[in-house]
Amino acid sequence: MAGIAGISEKGAKEKVSGMLDKIRYRGRAGRSVFETENATLGIVWNESEKEIVNRYLASGTSGYENGPGHFARAGNESGKLILTRDELGVAPLYYGRDNNGKLCFSSEVKALLSTTGNISEMLPGHSFEGTILTPFFRLKTGTAFKESPEEIAGNLRTLLDKAVSDRIRTEDIGSWLSGGLDSSAICALATRHTNKLRTFSAGVKNAPDLEFAQEMARSIKSDHHEVIVTTDDLVQALPQVIYHLESFDALLVRSSITNFLVAKLASEYVSEVFSGEGGDELFAGYEYLKSIRPAELEEELLKITASLHNTALQRVDRCASAHGTTAHVVFTDPEVVEFAFRIPVEYKIRDNTEKWILRKAMEEALPDKIFNRPKAKFWEGAGVRELISDYAEKHITDADFRNERLLSNGLIINTREELYYYRIFKEHFGSDIDLSWMGRTEGSPVE
């Protein structure tokens, strides 16, 4: 995905260019640094994003779009530098002020560290004009559909199919494929709009994801590729993963390692990929949701969907962008999200089956083995949970954990695994960095 950076100061091309250097992997096809009436703005982009970026450049705006409704931009309005981020925060954006009080911004935190240590995450669905943060979107439940579940499922499939086709702007496209319901559904739909879909999977030897992904790939006759990873592969990748992810949250890092490796594999073949992220939040895919009373379920789904921006969506963006590719998150298409929150909750979990309505929508397109597969956590399906957590805990003693878990900024490290990740994070970003912008996965284990 393209990347942007800038500062509310004219004559700062060298400074902005240095910021772009930090995120140059986000766009390997083009680069522009230019001045407006009160700011210096910059952007890097990939070849498939050239047309969209040129439209922004023509209007004197630094911005990009990752498909319909997914954007980050910075431009002048009424003599002020205005920052805007999409409704769910698919496109990342951060800001802060330098020592002279100038507003700085970038797609990633690392590009801001040379100008400021006072960093905030731009909230999804908001605009910021330097002093006032203004919401333009609030995630909410719409009027529930009265149609039959069959009609709702049919309309959902049509909407998902459109969301997939709207994002295909090059034949050079593939899809990450875990063999789960969400990624398999997207692959089944994408196959209808491409001559030959390439699919990519990663996991340890004999991991469930590899088996299910192979089954789905055979079904849709995709050009399938996989990478078998070892403990050494996981450990060697960690410094890069944490650097690009800009987080030491244990569950987020753990889920990002194989995602990072499969993104690297995909980048050798395609410039853009589909991701199935977001389906669990919209359609109730997590096991714990079955224990929530139906009257409270929709509120929980709103909550976890709204928190995707600095956890799972951050993982998708950073893993893809680290290798110069763009990831399309179809389930977070604005029309799909609005539709999903009008589906009655009794169709999301039905007969103790999670994502029932999505299964109904895709039942004719998926093999039985995929259709009936229960939800597996990302790191469990890839087989990395014990490998990476056990390795980390062998390198952190109980005394280390007691002495180092309370950080100077008041943040508390939850587990020895997380402390292991924090030590790597600290090597990249230092120990005195403000971490108020960093997301933490809700419900993470605590020792």
Torsion of CA 23, 24, 26, 27, to 10 degrees: 150
Give the whole-angstrom CA distance, residue 175 versus residue 184.
9
Give the whole-angstrom CA distance, residue 243 versus residue 237.
10
More confident residue, 317 or 378: 317
User: Mean pLDDT across the stretch 112-140?
Assistant: 94
Q: Across the strands, what pairs with 63?
A: 73
Say if residue 439's pLDDT is above 80.
yes
The predicted structure's pLDDT at residue 145: 98
Q: Which pLDDT band holds residue 393 (cuts at 50, 70, 90)?
A: confident
Distances (CA, A) of 5 to 31, 96, 208, 240, 433: 11, 12, 40, 22, 19
The predicted structure's pLDDT at residue 384: 72
Say if residue 379's pLDDT is above 60.
no
DSSP class of 123: P
More confident residue, 390 or 418: 418
The predicted structure's pLDDT at residue 191: 96
Distances (CA, A) of 238 to 181, 235, 257, 366: 28, 5, 7, 34
Say if residue 374's pLDDT is above 90.
no
> What is the distance of C-alpha 208 from the center of its chain?
23
Give the whole-angstrom CA distance, residue 245 versus residue 101.
28
Helix (H), strand (E), coil (C) string for 206-253: CCHHHHHHHHHHHHHCCEEEEEEECHHHHHHHHHHHHHHHCCCCHHHH
Give the whole-angstrom CA distance, residue 121 versus residue 220.
40
Say if residue 348's pLDDT is above 90.
yes
Least confident of 28-32, 73-77, 224-228, 327-331: 73-77
- Tally the residues of the chain: 447
Give pTM, 2 decimals: 0.95
Give the whole-angstrom CA distance, residue 195 versus residue 216.
17
Q: Is 437 helix (H, G, I), strand (E, B) or coil?
A: coil
Per the prediction, the chain carries an average pLDDT of: 94
Place of tokens 């005195």: 432
Q: Which pLDDT band holds residue 111 (cuts at 50, 70, 90)?
A: very high
| Positive/negative CA dihedral, 397, 403, 406, 407 | negative
Question: How many percent of the chain have pLDDT more than 70?
Answer: 98
Question: How many percent of the chain have pLDDT more than 90?
Answer: 84
Q: Across the strands, what pairs with 336?
A: none
Give the whole-angstrom CA distance, residue 428 versus residue 271.
27
Give the whole-angstrom CA distance, residue 60 versus residue 35.
8
Q: Across the strands, what pairs with 329?
A: 275
User: Mean pLDDT across the stretch 321-333?
Assistant: 97
User: Mean pLDDT across the stretch 242-247?
Assistant: 98
Say if residue 4's pLDDT is above 60.
yes
DSSP element (H, E) containing 21: helix 13-22
* Burial class for 374, CB neighbours closer than 10 Å (0-12, 13-18, 19+): exposed
User: Mean pLDDT across the stretch 263-280?
Assistant: 97
Neighbours of 401 (CB within 10 A): 18
- Please, what are the domains in the chain? 3-135 (3.60.20.10), 149-230+265-382 (3.40.50.620)
Q: Which of 220, 323, 205, 183 is nearest to 262 (CA)?
A: 323
Least confident of 162-166, 175-179, 254-258, 264-268: 254-258
Angle between helices 416-429 and 250-267 (to 10 degrees): 60
Q: Which pLDDT band holds residue 376 (cuts at 50, 70, 90)?
A: low
